[in-house]
């Protein structure tokens, strides 16, 4: 596609809510549509660009400030940025929105109960035992988005369903071209999901 419009898809939510999983799921799908995609993930960025920072309020703000700067540069160069950071403070997310412009906030919600049960990284157990200070949702605040463009609930939806919601939003707003059918019309997200499932079952994906 020659006329890609840059956008930052900003995944926010508690640890384990699905920010990384959804972004990783979408990355190859978007590339297959011919888009330039860059994925910025909190865990990775904290090992490089912001490895000097910890989890105090001040450091969390700096972390978001720096990644906002990077996302802004990419977005204005017509890249689709998938950005997964807990980003617990509303004012920092709103600042990012103002700076970046084309901005899609995806609130990855999940009940605390499901998160504790899932405990992907084993961090909730430690946080509840008091072994991790400043753990978002347990011993540190998380300010929910008031008007996110997309809200997913990973305690009730499958990964595929949540990702399809994000993709549908991006298609509806012209950030992602719909897939053309042979007759010139386009597939809906549901149709596309079905096709992918069938191809997967046949061993093609």
Residues near ligand ATP (CB under 6 A) are 13, 15-22, 42-43, 84, 86, 108, 118, 120-121, 154, 157-159, 162
What does 159 bind: Mg ion, ligand ATP, none (CB cut-off 5 to 8 Å by kind)?
A: ligand ATP
How far apart CA 41 and CA 64 sit, in angstroms, is 11
SS (H, E, C) 42-111: HHHHCCCCCCCCCCCHHHHHHHHHHHHHHHHHHHHCCCEEEEECCCCCHHHHHHHHHHHCCEEEEEEECC
Q: Identify the residue among 4, 8, 12, 20 touching Mg ion (CB under 5 A).
A: 20
As measured in angstroms, the least distance from the Cβ of 185 to ligand ATP is: 29
As measured in angstroms, the least distance from the Cβ of 78 to ligand ATP is: 26
Picking from 55, 42, 159, the residue whose alpha carbon sits closest to that of residue 108 is: 159
Beta sheet of 80-84, edge-to-edge order: 37-41, 80-84, 7-12, 103-109, 150-153
- Give the 3-state secondary structure of residue 113: helix
As measured in angstroms, the least distance from the Cβ of 150 to Mg ion is: 17
How far apart CA 176 and CA 164 sit, in angstroms, is 13
Q: Which stretch binds Mg ion (CB under 5 A): 20-28, 109-117, 125-133, 160-168?
A: 20-28
| Residue 87 among the catalytic residues | yes
102 or 111: CB nearest ligand ATP: 111
Q: Is 162 in the site for Mg ion (CB under 5 A)?
A: no
As measured in angstroms, the least distance from the Cβ of 144 to Mg ion is: 18
124 or 175: CB nearest ligand ATP: 124
With beta carbons less than 8 A apart as the criterion, state whether 166 and 22 touch. Answer: yes
| Catalytic site residue from 87, 139, 154, 162 | 87
Using CB under 5 A, count the residues that bind Mg ion: 2
């Amino acid at each position: 596609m020659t006329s890609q419009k840059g956008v930052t898809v900003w995944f926010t939510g508690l640890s384990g809510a699905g920010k990384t999983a959804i972004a990783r799921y979408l990355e190859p799908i978007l590339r297959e549509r011919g888009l330039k995609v860059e994925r910025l993930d909190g865990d990775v960025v904290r090992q490089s660009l912001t490895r000097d920072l910890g989890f105090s309020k001040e450091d969390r703000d700096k972390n978001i400030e720096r990644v906002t700067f990077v996302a802004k540069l990419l977005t204005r160069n017509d890249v689709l940025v998938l950005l997964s950071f807990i980003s617990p403070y509303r004012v920092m997310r709103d600042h990012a929105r103002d700076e970046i412009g084309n901005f899609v906030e995806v609130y990855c919600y999940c009940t605390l109960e499901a998160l504790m049960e899932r405990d992907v990284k084993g961090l909730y157990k430690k946080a509840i035992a008091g072994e991790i200070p400043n753990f978002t949702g347990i011993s540190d605040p998380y300010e929910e988005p008031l008007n996110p463009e997309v809200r997913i609930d990973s305690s009730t939806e499958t990964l595929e369903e949540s990702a399809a919601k994000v993709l549908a939003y991006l298609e509806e707003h012209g950030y992602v071209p719909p897939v053309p059918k042979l007759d010139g019309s386009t597939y809906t997200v549901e149709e596309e999901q079905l096709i992918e499932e069938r191809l997967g079952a046949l061993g093609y994906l």
